[in-house]
Chains A and B, each alone.
Chain A
Amino acid sequence: MILLVTGTQEPFDRLVSAVDEWAATTHDADIFGQIANASYIPKNFNYSRFIEPGEFNEKFKAASLIIAHAGMGTILQALQFSKPIIVFPRLFKFHETRNDHQVATARSLGKLGYVRDVYNETELFEVLNNRSSVHPAPPIGPAASETLIQFIRDFLASCEKQT
C-alpha cells in the first residue's frame, strides 16, 4: 500500500490531486490518503481526512511507500519505520504554508539521503513510475543523538545543584 500523508495543519490540494491524477493512470498501485481538510476529493483512491495516532501508526507500518508533504513529523516517522518516502514540499506562493521552510527541509534531507525530494507534479510522476528505485534510508534509532541527550542532561544537572 502507498500511503499519502498531508499532515493536519493545512489542506494540500496540489499534492492530493497530483496523486489522484497518477492513480488514474496506474492499476497496480493500492493507495490510501490522509488528506486533512483538502477541498479536492480523490476519485481514484480511498482516503480519510484525519486518522487517530494509533491507527495512523498501523497504516504507516503497513505501507510500502510514503508520499508526503515535507513535514518533519511524517519524515521522522518514515525514518523510524525505515519506509521509503517521497516528499513534495508545500509552497508559500500557493498559500500551502506561511513560508518556504518545507523546500529547505526537503532539499537538505534529500541531500543527506533521508528522503527522495520532488518539487512539482512532473518530478513526482517520474519518481512514482520508478518507485522501486526509492529506497528507505537506514533506520534511525528511537532517540536523539547521544551528544544532544548528554548536553541536555548536563544542563539539567546544573539546574539541580541550584535548586
Chain B
Amino acid sequence: MSNLKILAIASSGGHWIQLMRLMPAFTNQQLIFVTTNKGYRQQVEGNEFYSVSDATRWQKLKLIKMGFEVGKIMFMKNPDVIISTGAAPGLMAIIWAWILRKKSIWVDSIANVDRVSMSGRIAKKFCTLHLTQWEHLADNKITFFKGTVIK
C-alpha cells in the first residue's frame, strides 16, 4: 500500500489543537503541517512544517498574501490529500486543492454550534469530504457528522 502525502493545515489556537487530535487518523502517512504559528514546529517534530502569514477573512490584502503562501507550498509539495480544521488558511488550501484536482477534507471546528463557520460554508463547495462536529448541523448529503475531536 502506497503512503499518501497529506497536507494538514490549520490556523493557530483551537483550530490547530483540533487538528492535532486527528493525528491517529494519519498513521503511516507522510505529513506536511502548515499553520500560522512558528512555535508549533516542535509539536510535530519529525514531520515537514511550514508557517504562513496569519489573516482573517476580514483582512483582504493579508488574506491574498497568505493564499499565495499556501499555494506555493501546495505547488512545491504536491500533496495527495489536504485536511483542515479551519480557518482561513485551511480554506485557501481547500480551494487550491480544488484547482489542482486533489482530494480534500474539511472538519468544521467544534466551536461552530449554531451553524457551520463562514469558511466552512465556502469550503463546502470545494472539498471532497465535509464534516461538522454537531449532529444537528449535518444534512447527510454534503455535510456529515461522524464524531467530534473530544472523546
Contacts A156-B4, A159-B103 hold; do A144 and B148 have CB atoms under 8 A apart?
yes
Q: Count contacts on A: residues with CB < 8 A to the other chain.
A: 42
Q: Which residue of A lies closest to B21 (CB)?
A: A144
Q: How far is the CA of A34 from the CA of B86 in the complex (A)?
A: 24
Contact B14–A76 (Cβ < 8 Å): yes
Which residues of chain A are near B109, meaning CB under 8 Å? 72
Contacts A104-B113, A104-B114, A152-B83 hold; do A144 and B4 have CB atoms under 8 A apart?
no
Contact A156–B13 (Cβ < 8 Å): no
Which residues of chain B are near A153, meaning CB under 8 Å? 25, 27
Which residues of chain A are near B117, meaning CB under 8 Å? 101
Q: Count contacts on B: residues with CB < 8 A to the other chain.
A: 48
Which residues of chain A are near B40, meaning CB under 8 Å? 53
Q: How far is the CA of A108 from the CA of B15 in the complex (A)?
A: 18
List the count of A-B residue pairs having beta carbons below 8 Å apart: 127
Which of the listed residues B24, B80, B103 has the most CB atoms from chain A within 10 Å of its own CB? B24
Q: Which residue of B lies closest to A148 (CB)?
A: B147
Whole-angstrom distance between the Cβ of B121 and the nearest chain A Cβ? 13
B32 at the interface (CB under 8 A from A): no
Which of the listed residues A70, A104, A140, A144 has the most CB atoms from chain B within 10 Å of its own CB? A144
Whole-angstrom distance between the Cβ of B137 and the nearest chain A Cβ? 11
Contact A76–B17 (Cβ < 8 Å): yes
Q: How far is the CA of A101 from the CA of B116 in the complex (A)?
A: 10
Q: Which residue of B lies closest to A79 (CB)?
A: B150
Contact B21–A8 (Cβ < 8 Å): no
For chain B residues 113-130, which have a beta carbon within 8 Å of chain A?
113-114, 117, 129
B46 at the interface (CB under 8 A from A): no
Q: Which residue of B lies closest to A142 (CB)?
A: B21
Which residues of chain B are near A108, meaning CB under 8 Å? 113, 134
Q: How far is the CA of A148 from the CA of B83 in the complex (A)?
A: 13
Which residues of chain A are near B24, meaning CB under 8 Å? 143-144, 149
Contact B22–A72 (Cβ < 8 Å): no
For chain B residues 1-35, which have a beta carbon within 8 Å of chain A?
1-2, 4, 6, 12-18, 21-27, 29
Contact A160–B4 (Cβ < 8 Å): yes
Which residues of chain B are near A75, meaning CB under 8 Å? 14
Which residues of chain B are near A74, meaning CB under 8 Å? 14
Known pairs A8-B13, A149-B22; list 15 more (Cβ under 8 Å). Answer: A53-B39, A71-B13, A71-B14, A72-B109, A76-B17, A108-B134, A143-B22, A143-B151, A144-B25, A144-B147, A144-B149, A146-B151, A147-B147, A151-B131, A159-B81
